[in-house]
Structure 1
Amino acid sequence: MALRFASVVATTLFASTALASAADVSVPYDPAPAAPQPAADYYAGDDLVFELGIKGVVDPEYLGSDDYRILPGAIFSIEYLNLPGLGSFGGPDGLGFSIGPSFNVVGDRKADDHPELTGLDDVDTTYEAGIKVSYEWEYAEVYGSARYAFGGAEGFVGDAGANVIARPTETVTLKLGPTVSFASGDYMEDYFSVSPAESVASGGRFAAYDAGGGFKSVGVAASARYEFTPDWFLNADASWDRLVGDAADSPIVEAGDKNQYSFSLGISKRFSLDLF
């Protein structure tokens, strides 16, 4: 199944990029300045520039699962922010240093929905909120985020990564690079530990296990982004993550799959506001 899923992801990303290139030929335009300008000039009069959109997401039914589901999702990012007295963050086309919010939602895990989890406690939907920082050059970027999780699981979780960036046309941006994620002990325990009581309830199918904090996964992420008309974007993202450390050794993951794939396709729009 993993190979079939990876093939679908690769095919869809290729198709998205090919369609973007074809559209560039038939509807040429120049949505950006010919040369980069200082952020103060590019966003003259604007204090906040952000993107908002919707997407469809294909990802594992729960952490460590080998089955997949389709869910709706939101796209939100801050490209430029000017705070009087504190300075500005971000710049033209997102280049330079940026800082903004980071959100994530992990769906619930219920044994009634997954017979292979019989005996395990349910985990309600988990909400994650925090901060993300990044620095982008013309052909590369580095980023990192940290979030606090609450709801079904509690604790801290985050990720970091780097990308090489290709811009084959003025309207297409491609990114590819390694990723790593980590989580606190409380978070890992909620998703990957098996208590003695759960072990008994499962009929011994799951051995008792106590997961600790640390690295949760390593992987690779790719994205294709097409500005099909000024300030409107088509976004395609795909990733492969392999659970490592205490997460990978969990009996829950051993019964599922250490390899976790995800794919999303969405549309977003850039907004500019003069706040001050």
Structure 2
Amino acid sequence: MKRQMLIIFFSLAYVAASAAESDLLSSPSASLRPANAPQEAEIGGIVGVVPGYFGAQKLSLVASPYVEANFGNGAFVGASGIGYRSPNYGSFSVAASLGAGRSRLESAGNADTHNRLTGMGDVTPRAQANLFANYDNGPYHAYVLLQRELGNRDGAEGQLVGMFDAVSTKTDLVQLYAGIDYANQAQMQTFFGVTASQSSTSGNAVYTPGAGVAGSSVGSIWRHAFSQHWVGTLEVGVISLSGGAADSPLTARKTNGLAVVSSGYRF
């Protein structure tokens, strides 16, 4: 769960939208750039201080490489996988991709006192289908993202994100965002539920959450071009769990902050 959010995000899960015209600095996520944007690839690294998992007691330092590529014909490769974004129909467009779903390790629950994930088992990643519906009108952006795991877990999520371009120039893009996340019962059970078997090995009380709004997020992203090729991105935000996710015995903190910085080479 954490890694999905971090790379997007990506956090976010994870929180980005198409920025502007070809002569302005583009969004860090290739999947959300306009389909007719100039061909561009970016390779770099990310370092972040993020929750060990959604609901973790402590923040963790994580690092990973990343690749974002837009091929100028709507096809893209990035944090959300391999996909295609349609041309704009007025202010609207759609996109689809195939990538990896969320995961969680028992070790992500490390805490000063009690690791609530001990005995819960690892949540392994699954292939995941992603569908986007995008709205872009000047500095205002919004998108709906539907995610469906492929396999035997049946997890599904829906995210609604709004974003405003506070600054958009050739060298700087500052975006403010807010979003909410809805998860079906299978997804809530996977990441916030405790089965009878898991209860016996972990000591956590049996818990069966229902479908509902799992949380919300607010934050900002600052993207800066140091030169024609080198760019950096800084994201700071707050994630708040709600409903069945907030009430889970696995949740030590309902609200957590995050800070993620990346640097990449564009070509």
- TM-score computed with the length of structure 1 as normaliser: 0.65
Instruction: Look up the SS of the partner of 1:165 in the other structure.
Output: strand
The CA deviation at 1:165 is: 0.8
Task: Tell me if structure 1 keeps the 8 A contact 2:52–2:109.
Answer: no
Task: Tell me if structure 2 keeps the 8 A contact 1:192–1:247.
Answer: yes
Aligned partner (choices 257, 260, 263) of residue 256 of structure 2: 260
Per mean C-alpha deviation after superposition, the further-off stretch among 104-113 and 230-239 is 104-113
Are 2:208 and 1:210 equivalent residues in the alignment?
Answer: yes
The CA deviation at 1:146 is: 2.6
In structure 2, C-alpha distance between the alignment counterparts of 1:127 and 1:260, rounded to whole Å: 26
Determine the structure 2 residue equivalent to 1:53: 44
> Whose helix proportion is higher, 1 or 2?
1
Change (3 A) 1:269 1:150: farther
The CA deviation at 1:214 is: 2.4
Are 2:105 and 1:108 equivalent residues in the alignment?
Answer: yes
Determine the structure 2 residue equivalent to 1:186: 186
Determine the structure 2 residue equivalent to 1:21: none
Alpha-carbon RMSD: 3.7
Identical-pair percentage: 20
Determine the structure 2 residue equivalent to 1:241: 239
Change (3 A) 1:270 1:118: closer
In structure 1, C-alpha distance between the alignment counterparts of 2:154 and 2:85, rounded to whole Å: 33
In structure 1, C-alpha distance between the alignment counterparts of 2:180 and 2:193, rounded to whole Å: 21
The CA deviation at 1:218 is: 1.0
Instruction: Look up the SS of the partner of 2:210 in the other structure.
Output: coil
In structure 1, C-alpha distance between the alignment counterparts of 2:212 and 2:139, rounded to whole Å: 31
Determine the structure 2 residue equivalent to 1:195: 195
Q: Which has the higher contact order (CA 8 A, sep 6+)?
A: 1
Task: Tell me if structure 2 keeps the 8 A contact 1:133–1:145.
Answer: yes
Task: Tell me if structure 1 keeps the 8 A contact 2:117–2:250.
Answer: no
In structure 1, C-alpha distance between the alignment counterparts of 2:183 and 2:141, rounded to whole Å: 23
The unaligned stretches of length 5 or more in structure 2 are: 1-21, 25-33, 76-83
Determine the structure 1 residue equivalent to 2:224: 226
Change (3 A) 1:50 1:89: farther
Instruction: Look up the SS of the partner of 2:213 in the other structure.
Output: strand
Amino acid at match of 1:108: L
Task: Tell me if structure 2 keeps the 8 A contact 1:128–1:149.
Answer: yes
Change (3 A) 1:32 1:201: closer
* Offset from partner CA, 1:101-151 (integer Å, 9 cap, x none): 466654412499564327642123435643344333331211232333479
- TM-score computed with the length of structure 2 as normaliser: 0.67
Task: Tell me if structure 2 keeps the 8 A contact 1:175–1:222.
Answer: yes
Determine the structure 1 residue equivalent to 2:56: 65
Instruction: Look up the SS of the partner of 2:250 in the other structure.
Output: helix
Task: Tell me if structure 1 keeps the 8 A contact 2:236–2:258.
Answer: yes
Task: Tell me if structure 2 keeps the 8 A contact 1:124–1:152.
Answer: no
In structure 1, C-alpha distance between the alignment counterparts of 2:152 and 2:52, rounded to whole Å: 15
The CA deviation at 1:164 is: 1.2
Change (3 A) 1:89 1:142: same
Are 2:151 and 1:140 equivalent residues in the alignment?
Answer: no
The CA deviation at 1:250 is: 0.9
Change (3 A) 1:104 1:54: farther
In structure 1, C-alpha distance between the alignment counterparts of 2:168 and 2:72, rounded to whole Å: 28
Determine the structure 1 residue equivalent to 2:3: none
In structure 2, C-alpha distance between the alignment counterparts of 1:72 and 1:221, rounded to whole Å: 20
- The higher radius of gyration belongs to 1
The CA deviation at 1:71 is: 1.6
